[in-house]
Structure 1
Amino acid sequence: MVHSMATARRIYGISSWQLGRRLEKIGLARRSTSGQVYTLDKYIPAQIVQNIVTEIDALLNATEAGKQLGIDRISIAMMTKQGLITCYYEGVSPSPLYHPDELCRLMDRLRALAVRATASTDDVDIPTAARRISVPMERVTELILRLQVPLRARCPEAASFRDFEVSLRHLRDALASEHDGVVKFDVAAEILQVNRRTVRILLKQGLLNSKAVIDPATSRLRRYVCFDSLQQFQVDHITSAELAAQMEVKLEENEAKDFLKGRRWRVAETTRDN
């Protein structure tokens, strides 16, 4: 057991400030009124202190974190401000520190949206896309993650941040959906990893909703897929991975109807059982 901050500092070589801030977060220490000293509320198991020491030893500063992601330290700061990654220590700090696991979580979210690039496309990396549409990179990244904008990479499972490529058209559609809450049919198809015909079947079956919106490029009224219904469909009915596994060929209309009818029945049965 560790009896005091001084004992921890002597045994583990960790500063009282570093240990105290972490223990305060998990409710095992409190800060003095001056804000400079931490005291333990009770004796702390040595293993807890050792785990914190191990975490702190692995921390990266902004420059190191940027190198791990493949971006610069300024971009790391902007992503932190956007809420995409979290500092190890809460609050404003002149020298923010990041745990590698936090950076991995961001990359895992991006990789989950990426498919392997098998041919040359007009897609560009995220920083370039941000410059092309005049939107900050951290804002573009947040938009990609929140609206599940499809990405491509030559090797998604090992891609760094700059390896991910995005379609400018899809990105502009995502920006437009911020205002109208809709996406184009081909964007919806790519999110679900199906074709446009299947998207139309889903709309006809009432599994997706559509909305008429004026296209800013042509000033004509066009029909789009409501993004919230797209998200709800993914949650309640089927995922793109499940679709790919169960349907090895592209869905034709009758096959899609039979498949979705069976899926809806299973969902309904599950609901009744619960």
Structure 2
Amino acid sequence: MSRVFITGSADGLGQMAARLLVDAGHQVVVHARNAARAEEALKAVPEAETALTGDLSSIAATIALAEQVNTLGRFDAVIHNAAVGYQEPRRIATVDGLPHVFAVNTLAPYILTALIRKPKRLVYLSSGLHRSGDASLDDLAWDRRPWRGTAAYSDSKLHDALLAFAIARRWPAVLSNALEPGWVATKMGGAGAPDDLQAAPKTQVWLAASDEPSATVSGAYFYHKKPRETHPAVQDVAVQERLLEACEGFSGIRLPD
């Protein structure tokens, strides 16, 4: 049995992954943005150990969430599932003055990775759109660039893949991987999305808990449990390091050795 923490598991793919894990006999802690959403998460997955709350758009709240996780003890896996964005029509500033998409999709996974006790496995949800992300990492906060919501989302999913590969390199004792679930009919994906919704959460569950040799690797990128090619920058150590340095600069939190 594995013990797994899943961010953004009040609905969508996170909730579906939680359901699959508990049905397979694993122990799961779910997460939601606020208390009302956490209650919904527990109603959907009543077998969950508990539900934690934390607004990932806030640096302080994300730090507090990491503290909540650590209070519960060590986890076998953490799935960084939470995401927002896709087509936000304007630069929505967080309490810290950062773009909402960057704060939730990029900086929060970095902060949680840095502060939660190292699990055995880390799983980061990326997207096929990461391939159109900007690997220059210039103007991550969109202070100078004209806002483009789809581009901001694509950038953030490139960052998630970079983070997964950076952690795989930095922390060889931890299995760290990224995946794309496909374009599926969730709240974010929209009703017309063409990919298989039921298959979409299975790869994150597999990477978090399976003992299959193909799942117990590190520094890989998957689609439906099969390796898939990434943006070339994902495996570029210099780009990985620039992202880590930038996230440390925005958050004030250093990734431990």
- TM range, normalised to the smaller chain? under 0.3
Structure number, greater radius of gyration: 1
> Which structure shows the bigger proportion of residues in helix conformation?
1
TM-score by length of 2: 0.24
TM-score by length of 1: 0.23
